Amino acid sequence: MSRAIEDRNRRMLRARDTIDRSFAAPLDVAALARVAHVSPAHFSRQFRAVFGETPHRYLQRRRIERAMELLRDTDRPVTDVCLDVGFASLGTFSRTFSAVVGESPSAYRERTQATRAPQYVPACLEKTLRRPVGAPLP
Amino acid sequence: MFKHITHTTIYVTDQDEALAFYVGKLGMVVQTDADMDVMRYLTVTLPDDDSLELMLLLPGPPLHDEATAEQVRELIAKGGAGGGVIFETDDCVGTYERLRDLGVEFTQEPTERFYGTDCALRDPFGNPLRFTERPATSARPAGRAAAAPPR
C-alpha cells in the first residue's frame, strides 16, 4: 500500500511543480492529469488528498504570491502585474488579492515598498513561505 | 561555539538510485559507503570541497520503525520531508543545460535574482535541490550580518 501512496504522491508533486512553473497559464486539468498519470476526473480529488487543497486554490495562491513579489519589488503597474500572473480581469485579481492578503494590491504595494529592505532568502523558500494560506477565496 | 557544519542528511528511498543521481548526474563523489550490518551508511561530497558530507539515508529500521518509515517515504514523495540542499556554481546556465540534457527534473529554470542566478530541481525521490551562481561582485549575499548580531 505504501508504495502505491509514494508513487501517487510523487506523481502529484510533479503536477504541482508544473503548476508552479506555468502559473500564468490557465489551469489545464487535462494536461496536469497527464503529468500525474491519472484521469482528469480523479485529478483534483487526488491532488486535494495529497496537498490539502484543490489545484485551483493552489494555483490562485501561487498567483497571488507572484503578484505580491512584483508589487513589492518592481514598479510594474498593477494592471500589468494582474496579467503577468495569469488573471484575465483586474476585478477578479483585485477581489482575490484582497480576500487573500487582506488589503488591495495598491495598498499592499504602498505599505511594503515603504519598508522594503532586501534580505537574502533563496527563491524556493521565499515562494513556499510567502504563498499565502488561510483566508477563503472568493 | 561551533566551527563548521560537517554533515547534513537527506532521506532517499533507494540508495543505489541516489548514487546514480547524486554521483552519476550531479557529479558528487562517494565519501563513505559502509555496510554497518544494520544499515548502509552512505555519504557523498563535492569533488573539490569535502568540508560538508551529505548523508543519503534510507528511512527504516534501525532509524525508524516500519510504520514511521512509511510515513517518511510518503512525505519525501510529496516534497514535504524537509530535506534539501543548495549548491553554489560558477556557471548556472551551463550546469542547468548539462543536467537538463541528462533528464534531470527542473522546477525552475535559471532566473536572475538580486543575489545571483539560480535554478531549482528535484532529486528522483522528490527532495528539492537548488544551485546558485553569485554575482561576481559580491562574495556573499548581504543581509545576514545586519539582521541579527551573533549570540
Please enumerate in sequence order all residues whose Cβ is within 8 A of that of A135, keeping only pairs 6 or more positions apart, or say none. A99, A100, A102
pLDDT at B136 over 80: no
Of B76, B113, B147, the CB nearest to A119: B147
Q: Which domain holds residue B81?
A: 7-138
Extract the C-alpha cell encoding A81: 502585474
**Residue of A13, A51, A118 with shortest CB distance to B143:** A118
* B53 Cβ under 8 Å from any chain A Cβ: no
Element (H, E) at A133: none
Residue B144 belongs to some domain of the structure: no
pLDDT at B148: 42
pLDDT of residue B140: 54
- Segment A38-49 mean pLDDT: 96
Q: What end-to-end distance do the CA atoms of chain A give, in Å?
A: 37
Is residue B150 included in any domain, yes or no? no
Query: Residue A1 above 60 pLDDT?
Result: no
Residue A9 contacts B where some CB pair is shorter than 8 Å: yes
pLDDT tens for B78-129 read 999 988 899 999 999 999 999 999 999 999 999 998 889 999 999 999 999 9
Burial of B16: CB neighbours in 10 Å, binned 0-12, 13-18, 19+: exposed
Q: What is the mean pLDDT of residues B140-146?
A: 47
Q: Taking CA A50 as the corner, what is the angle to CA B125 and CA A35, rounded to the nearest 5 degrees?
A: 60
Tens digits of residue pLDDT in B50-75: 999 999 999 999 889 999 999 999 99
A47 burial level (CB within 10 Å; 0-12, 13-18, 19+): buried
Quote the pLDDT of residue B133: 97
Partner-chain residue, chosen from B86, B114, B125, that has the shortest CB–CB distance to A118: B114
Domain for residue B149, yes or no? no
pTM of the model: 0.84
Q: Whole-angstrom Cα distance, residue B117 to residue B87?
A: 12
pLDDT at residue B147, as a whole number: 43
Number of domains in chain B: 1
In the predicted structure, residue A114 carries a pLDDT above the cut 90: no
CATH number of the domain bearing residue B50? 3.10.180.10
Closest residue in B to A19 (Cα) is B107
For residues B40-47, average pLDDT: 97
What is the band of A78 on the pLDDT scale with cuts at 50, 70, 90?
very high
Q: Do A124 and B108 touch (CB under 8 A)?
A: yes
Planar angle of CA B125, B127, B133, nearest 5 degrees? 130
Three-state secondary-structure class, residue B30: strand
Nearest to A124 among B76, B78, B128 (CB): B128
**B143 lies in some domain:** no
CB contact (8 A) between residue B70 and residue A14: no
Q: Tell me whether residues B78 and A21 touch, CB distance under 8 A.
A: no
Q: Is residue B42 part of a domain?
A: yes
B56 within a domain of the structure (yes/no): yes
The region of weakest confidence among A55-64, A110-119, B111-120, B127-136 is A110-119
Chain A stretch 63-102, residues whose beta carbon is closer than 8 A to a beta carbon of chain B: none
Taking residue B34's Cβ as centre, other Cβ atoms within 10 Å add up to 10
Amino acid residing at A68: M
Cell representation of residue A42: 480523479
Per the CB < 8 Å rule, is B122 touching A17?
yes
Give the mean model confidence (pLDDT) for residues A62-70. 95
Which strands, in side-by-side order, build the sheet including B29-35? B7-11, B49-57, B40-46, B29-35
Identify the band that residue A132 occupies on the pLDDT scale cut at 50, 70 and 90: confident
pLDDT for position B146:
43
Residue B21 forms part of a structural domain: yes
In a domain, B26, yes or no: yes
The arithmetic mean of pLDDT across residues A72-88, rounded, is 95
